[in-house]
Structure 1
Amino acid sequence: MARSIGRICKGFQRLGLLSKQTQLIPFTRVPVGTVRTIVTLPSFLFPQPRDFSLPNPSWGSEMTRMYEHYESQCEMETEGGQKGPWRRLPSYNRLLKYATVFPSGGVYLSKMIQSKARLFTRNIRNPGAAFEYVLFVNKEEQKCVCILQAGHLLEGPPGHVHGGAIATMIDTVTGTHATFLSGPVMTANLNINYRRPIPLGSTVLLESCLEKKEGRKTFITCRVTSTDGSKLHTETSALFLSITASHLLGG
């Protein structure tokens, strides 16, 4: 198998479709500092990933209206000639997956499991059936807003969104916001108070705000409301801890 891959790579290189580069591989079992030549495959073998946070036919009128509202604040020009305070965050389905770091050391790629792994809020092929959402961040105000349209596959109580699905989106939004503010983080605590059920198919806003930062700790609050703010669905306080590669590797 390795020889076959090598012949294929050499063929691409002769055609000018392949490049080589030298890179340190610090997280494998080879001695630290070992230099390997790795191959970069031609880009046409890996198509541009799809951004799932863009409008599609499944979006209802309220979802579209709220998207256009925040998108306009990303593009508008201020008096100083700068763009608006909001920035849309693209959302992909991940191309590279890293398997669990085993106690024996090293980072492994599982051929079967990892090739099928997906970011599960984006793993439904049918648009609008589950988590249909888009996130915007405001660096100046240290806020993050998510526009969520809850699909029919998220049903819990008859006709309403499952509480676990709501918690998933709160963790997604607050975690993304904390990462934007503090770099890589992991969820340490989510305290959710459910106030009012969310009807299936409805569009709601998740508004995340920075409360404070203390060392590795980032404290976030989040409210889920109707798009006009008249109905409060949940209130949340969240704690995230900043992490490094050594934390991920069990160090």
Structure 2
Amino acid sequence: MGLSDAELDAVRAIERAGGANDDLEPFFAGADQARPVRDVRLEPFLIARHPLTVAQVRHWLPEYEDSFAPSDTSTARLEDELDDLLRVLPFRLPSEAEWEYAARAGTTTLNFRGDDRPDEEQILDDFADEQGTSAAENAFGLAAMGSANEICADVWIPHFKDAPVDARPRTGDGPRVVRGGAGDLSPWQGCDEWLLLLSATRYASHDFTAVRPVAPVPTSQGQPVQGGRR
């Protein structure tokens, strides 16, 4: 988990090749927030293919309105309603480690597609290629990881300081961790929004956040299965 030296080198290679629109010095200056790389033990878990839509949020919050969503099937961006939703939602938020594991989908590259500069098509979960597969779907079948600014259960701590090694969320006071957000800036304005699609990009929460629910993996006895190391 975390932003590796190889990933930083890949960003530098994109910059040298002219793939960056701006000076990436602020990105490199803030890269330590996603370092050091560390091993984390994860228990198996279920995670939603897509963040909750407006219609899905209304299942639990019938009065919910989203002035930023073009339709009921669009991803819901919650503000003041987030705590209300979490109180009634029968699922939980992913820990930051779970989110990154899901986003990477077995890869160690900048994003699940490799070390090339991510394309804006990657944020569109309804974009299909000639094989009928989603351009924004990774090897785990998860759509648009990194597209919406998705909130995690963890309280923000720079540099993963004193973070648990078993993927439990860090609790306490303060803003939560957010991952992704490249789709919230679409259409891109040439400000290197693609950096938000990197699997390790992390920042402290702001007003509008999407929710991708998580649940334990059930067994026939109703107990979660035991996991292994990733």
**TM-score after normalising by structure 1:** 0.28
Structure number with greater Rg is 1
Higher strand fraction (1 or 2): 1
